Amino acid sequence: MAAAELEHVTATQARTVRRAPVASGSWHLRTLAVVAAVAVWGAGTGGLGWRPLPPALLPSPAETWHSLVAYARSGLLALDVGRTLAQAFLGLGLGMVVGTGVGVALAYARRLGDALEPLLAALNSLPRVAVAPLLIIWFGLGITSKVLLAFFTVVFVVFMNTYAGVRSVDPDLVRAVQAMGGDGRHVARWVVLPWVASWVFAALRTSISLALAATVTGEFVGSTHGLGYRMVLATGVLDTPRVFAILLVLMTVGYTVVEAARRVEAYLLRWRPEVAV
């Protein structure tokens, strides 16, 4: 991948972060939207005495809820959520650390960066879930294979963003700090670090969903615990309400984590002009 293309991709990712702040008070409408969605779902699954599809194909909200409660009572829900989240976060954390580290290192070591960039870009364009079976063969059904899958999914995205971020540091800001007598440490701390932080945050947000997706996929392919594993079991016996319940859990967990990250980001990057793009 050419450098220009790479910058385009990462710039687009960066831009998605800069969305306009939501007007306060809009939570009424938001709650209403959720309620409406559930109402439509309920109406189409027997809520109005009309049920075109059997529960095994499309369960109602109530059936899904009952399945979820049973799942929670058995104690397995907490276990599975814990397992899946632990794997996703381990992979995510590892990917963030390694991706940022390698991104910064290669951006400074320009020649090495130039040499490795096409290789890493090629690896980045590989559909990461395709290596899931291989990882299961190598590392077994346990936690390691999922952590590694999440790691592989995340690390290139983080690397690409960090690398592009360091390389795009505004030279005029560097010159400004140098002109007032600042040395390399001042430039690194006051210019490069905050500049790159906004790129890393952009990567973080996409990476959270990616890490979760990778973990669940890994659990589909082969595991003994986790939300993905439980979903495969439920699918095997056509327990569709359970599948729906797990999907709801995944959605809630994913949304909560991404939203938390967004708030931290909004606070740390509050110096940015709030432009809707």
Partner 1 sequence: MSLRVENLSLRYATGVEVLQDVSLEVQPGEFVSVVGPSGCGKSTLLNVVAGLVDRRLDVERLGRVTWNGREIRTAGDWAGELGYVFQRDTLLPWFTLQQNVELGLRIRGVARDQRERRVRELVRMVGLQGFEGVFPHQLSGGMRQRAQLLRTLAYEPKVILMDEPFGALDAHTRLGLQREVTEMWTQLRNTVLFVTHDLTEAIVMAQRVVLLSHRPGRVVEVYEVPFPYPRDPIELQGRREFALLHAEIWQGLAREFRAQDLEREAERPRA
Contact between 178 and partner 1 by CB under 8 A: the answer reads yes
Residue 272, interface with partner 1 (CB under 8 A)?
A: yes
| Per CB under 8 A, 188 contacts partner 1 | no
The residue among 49 and 181 lying less far from partner 1, judged by its C-beta, is: 181
Query: What's the rounded Cα separation, in Å, for the pair 230 and 79?
Result: 11
Q: Which is nearer to partner 1, 5 or 114 (CB)?
A: 114
Among 19, 51, 175, 263, binds partner 1 (CB under 8 A): 175
- Give the number of C-alpha atoms closer than 13 A to the C-alpha of residue 143, restricted to the C-beta side: 11
Decide: is 273 part of the binding site for partner 1 (CB under 8 A).
Answer: yes
Rounded CA separation 98/159 (Å): 8
Residue 11 CB, nearest approach to partner 1 (Å): 17
Return the residues of window 57-96 that contact partner 1 according to CB under 8 A.
none
Distance (Å, rounded) from C-alpha 120 to C-alpha 10?
14
Of 177, 253, 258, 266, which lies in the binding site for partner 1, with binding defined by CB under 8 A?
177
Residue 4: CB minimum distance to partner 1, A: 20
Q: Which tokens in the block code for residue 104?
A: 């910064």
Minimum Å gap between C-beta 191 and partner 1 is 7
Site string for partner 1, 130-169 (x = CB under 8 A): ----------------------------------------
**Distance of closest approach, residue 1 Cβ to partner 1, in angstroms:** 24
| Count of CB atoms situated within 10 Å of the CB of 81 | 19
246: three-class secondary structure by DSSP: helix
Q: Determine, following the binding rule CB under 8 A, whether residue 270 of this chain makes contact with partner 1.
A: yes
Scanning 84-92, 101-109, 126-134, 184-192 for contacts with partner 1 by CB under 8 A, the matching segment is 184-192
- Nearest-5° angle of CA 18, CA 23, CA 27? 115
Phi, psi of 50 (to 5 degrees): -125, 120
Q: How many helices (H) and strands (E) does the chain have?
A: 12, 0
> Minimum CB separation from partner 1 for residue 110, in Å?
9
Across 28-134, the runs of DSSP E, i.e. the strands, are: none
> Of 191 and 211, which CB lies nearer to partner 1 in the complex structure?
191
Residues 50 and 52: their CA atoms lie apart, in Å, by 6
Site size with partner 1, rule: CB under 8 A: 21
The continuous run of DSSP H or E covering 81 comes out as helix 76-108
Applying CB under 8 A, among 176, 258, 261, 266 the residue interacting with partner 1 is 176
Q: Do 226 and 144 touch, CB atoms closer than 8 A?
A: no
Measured from the CB atom, the residue of 192 and 257 that comes closer to partner 1 is 192
**Residue 196 in contact with residue 160, Cβ under 8 Å?**
no
Report the candidate in 20, 41, 93 with the shortest Cα–Cα distance to residue 261. Answer: 93
Residue 218 beta carbon to partner 1: minimum distance, rounded to whole angstroms: 38
Residues of the shown chain interacting with partner 1 in the complex, contacts defined by CB under 8 A? 171-173, 175-183, 186, 190-191, 194, 269-273
